[in-house]
Structure 1
Amino acid sequence: MTLHRKNLIDGEWLGVAGSRNINPSNTNDVVGEYASAGPEEAKQAIAAAKAAFPAWSRSGPL
């Protein structure tokens, strides 16, 4: 099974250049991987959040 490591930005799954391993209790035993975003992906995510905020802030509780 192949896992695809991507970030969800502005409703779209975007591929990234790399991934990182994680295991908070033992750095030698990997329990998961996550997509590693860089400055460009962060800028895209921030722009998408700013654009979505006005409509979201007017929405009521679920």
Structure 2
Amino acid sequence: VDHDTFLKYLKMSADNENSTALYNLGELYLNGRMGFEKDQQKGIQYLKLAAFKGQSKAKEILKQYDS
């Protein structure tokens, strides 16, 4: 799967509230990877949505930003 196709399906999955996709998008924005401009606020927003859906890795990352 090429880069653009991967991102297309990742965004579609996130739009369907898939917790893993939300987590992955959060990570991409938080760290500015794979062509995503670094945007901490947007990254945290996606991670919060993922955590709300039960994504444990997102919960762990968000603990770092709660302090």
Bigger proportion of residues as helix? 2
Instruction: State the TM-score, normalized to the length of structure 1.
Output: 0.31
TM-score (norm 2): 0.30
Q: Say which structure is richer in strand.
A: 1
